[in-house]
Structure 1
Amino acid sequence: MSTRLRDGLSAALIALSCLLLPFGAAASWAAYGLADTGRYVTAMAPLASDPAVRRAAADALGTGIMREVDRRLAGAPASPAPGTVRPFVRDAADSFTRTATFRTAWDAGNRAVHDAVLDALRDGRAGPVTVDLAPITAQVKERLLDDHVTVARHIPVEHTEVPVLGADELARLRKGYDVLEVAGFWLPVAAAVLAVAGIAVAACRRRAVTAAALGTALGGALLVLAVTLGRRLTLADLPEAAHRPAAGAVYDALTQPLRSVAWSLVALGLAVALTARLAAHLARRRREAARPATDPAPPPTRARV
């Protein structure tokens, strides 16, 4: 195989490897990072103290309580106007989001929703995904009793199924999840194999290593750009602008591992490229030092007439 053909084949293999690398990193993050309940709950746990998330949770909690209050006060004689009750309910909900009990409910709710969606994706059943609120209510009730809130004894622990994902959405998500499970494993493997093959067939392997390293850094930079662009598009699609800070906090928490991987690829690629460049420079210096010195040419002599 000629040198030109080897270099062309090496360049094609390395370019394809660098192209697959960011897609493989994103697929692995989605298939093995987001799909892990423990990692998901750990990533979401700090958001219980985020001001934007607390405000969104207080709004949702206050709206739910007022809906129940309006239902129970409808038609009742001498009932207070809902407008007079709403500020107190909103303050109570806001105060609740600052307690340890809310953090317990937050973790329990995230774990329950994640487990329910993941089980539905893996067992192949049809129909909507629902979450039973009884375990979450039981944990909140236990936490309140531990804090000596005696009125918590009267909190009913009822089995209430709350829908979290429709049947059509589940079917679409299952197809994507199946693809991600395959791509999350094989794309990184394919990228590594192609990079090794490209370096192996190259006529100058040091140059091929430098090219692969720079391509890796470029792939990591493109992945950082994709995560940033994805954040803007996600927040732009939200119908309510008031919830964008909370959604941004959730997006940042979930994509933090992916951003770390992307920046690691940038740093690793640049470090390897710099190392290969320095190694080439030192090798050239050693060859020049080992080259025997040539004797100076004798001075020209004049012929005598």
Structure 2
Amino acid sequence: MLLVAALLAPVSLAGVWARDQLTDTGRYVTAVAPLARDHTIQNAIVDDVTDGVMDHVRLDGLLSAIPRPQRPALRERFTRGIREFVDKQVRQVVTGPSFPAVWRQVHRTAHRTLDATLGASGDAPVRLDVAPIIERVKHQLSANGLGIDIARRVPHTGTEIVLLPAADVPRARAAYQAVRATARLAPPAAALCLAAGLLFARRRRRALTAAALLCAAATALLTVALVPVRSQALDALPHAVPRPAAAAYTDALTASLHTGTTGLVCGALVTAALAAGSGPVVRAVRGVLRKPHGG
């Protein structure tokens, strides 16, 4: 029972962390909020939004008066110049002081959509709607005379980034249900096993020491296992997803898990040390109490 309790402790920690990230919108938004100032994230957003805006840029009317043989070269030159202009405007929005509030709004909406999708039936994909960012970009473009036509062509729906394809929704829903069950059942099961194991142990201090050391070892193994899991998860992403941005996003989400595992390891080691060291102290106190007074 003590062994089961030691093994269930890191499992409980991981389950509670995953449940909080999947079902608690406030915790999720708090975790990803600092990414609004991360340069790798900003660069990825600038590229995605710029691509979304450039999809609506049309040069046919501008090039209609140009001789046909010269159009390809001019089209390439104009497209490159317009893209540089749009990229600059988008970057000003993304690095501006008001962007963190927009970032939190976008992710709060996306997380609520994800939670609703995984908690219900159906296989609709989950998308990150960056329409608020697009609106800020359109306003930035409209403030400059060169961007009026571009801003008018960009639709109000903005750009949507698929976070969870429809084909992956059933598997994600199964994992979601498993995480919720683990977070609900594993912590009380670990506590009951620990209490029962200590209750039936003949030498409880040694049993507590052993259980704490096992818990520390199991949690340390979980921490080590997170490294290849992180690497495999990043390698499985599509090539269109920038790896530096995905790595920063992953690290932000798992920061609280790493903090929890570190705290659990330290707490378990301290518990083991106190349990092991209390034996001589207790024996010494008993020896003093048993000495005849006045002798």
TM-score of Structure 1 vs Structure 2, range by shorter chain? 0.7 to 0.9
In the TM superposition, 1:262-277 aligns within 5 A as: 262-277=261-276
1:95 and 2:92 matched: yes
- Match of residue 125 from structure 1: 122
Provide the rounded CA distance (Å) in 2 between the counterparts of 1:274 and 1:246: 41
1:73 and 2:59 matched: yes
In the TM superposition, 1:252-291 aligns within 5 A as: 252-289=251-288
Q: 1:160 to 1:232 in 2, by over 3 A?
A: closer
Provide the rounded CA distance (Å) in 1 between the counterparts of 2:194 and 2:291: 38
- 3-state SS of paired residue (2:95): coil
- Match of residue 83 from structure 1: 80
User: What is the CA RMSD across the aligned residues, in angstroms?
Assistant: 3.2
**CA apart distance, 1:162:** 3.8
**CA apart distance, 1:29:** 1.0
- 3-state SS of paired residue (1:100): coil
Contact 1:133-1:158 within 8 A present in 2 as well: no
- Per-residue CA deviation, residues 10-68 of structure 1 (Å, 9 max, x unaligned), is xxx11111112212211111112332111111111110101111111112122222222
In the TM superposition, 1:52-71 aligns within 5 A as: 52-69=40-57
Percentage of pairs with the same residue: 33
Which is further off, 282-291 or 114-123? 282-291
Q: 1:139 to 1:159 in 2, by over 3 A?
A: closer
**CA apart distance, 1:251:** 0.9
**CA apart distance, 1:194:** 0.8
Provide the rounded CA distance (Å) in 1 between the counterparts of 2:81 and 2:160: 29
Asked which structure has the greater CA Rg, the reply is 1
Provide the rounded CA distance (Å) in 2 between the counterparts of 1:241 and 1:215: 42
Provide the rounded CA distance (Å) in 1 between the counterparts of 2:244 and 2:273: 40
**CA apart distance, 1:191:** 1.2
In structure 1, list runs of 5 or more residues that go unmatched.
1-12, 294-305
Contact 1:22-1:222 within 8 A present in 2 as well: no
Q: 1:241 to 1:168 in 2, by over 3 A?
A: closer
Q: 1:163 to 1:186 in 2, by over 3 A?
A: same
**Aligned AA (1:158):** H
TM-score normalised by L of structure 2? 0.80
In structure 2, list runs of 5 or more residues that go unmatched.
67-73
- 3-state SS of paired residue (1:177): helix
**Aligned AA (2:39):** P
Q: 1:240 to 1:159 in 2, by over 3 A?
A: closer
- Match of residue 192 from structure 1: 191
- Match of residue 236 from structure 2: 237
Provide the rounded CA distance (Å) in 1 between the counterparts of 2:273 and 2:258: 23
- Match of residue 158 from structure 1: 156
- Match of residue 69 from structure 2: none
1:47 and 2:45 matched: no
TM-score normalised by L of structure 1? 0.78
**Aligned AA (1:256):** A
**CA apart distance, 1:207:** 0.8
Provide the rounded CA distance (Å) in 2 between the counterparts of 1:241 and 1:217: 39
Provide the rounded CA distance (Å) in 1 between the counterparts of 2:98 and 2:290: 77
Contact 1:116-1:131 within 8 A present in 2 as well: no
**CA apart distance, 1:83:** 2.5
Q: 1:38 to 1:161 in 2, by over 3 A?
A: same
In the TM superposition, 1:196-211 aligns within 5 A as: 196-211=195-210
Provide the rounded CA distance (Å) in 1 between the counterparts of 2:50 and 2:135: 20
**Aligned AA (2:21):** G
**CA apart distance, 1:214:** 1.1
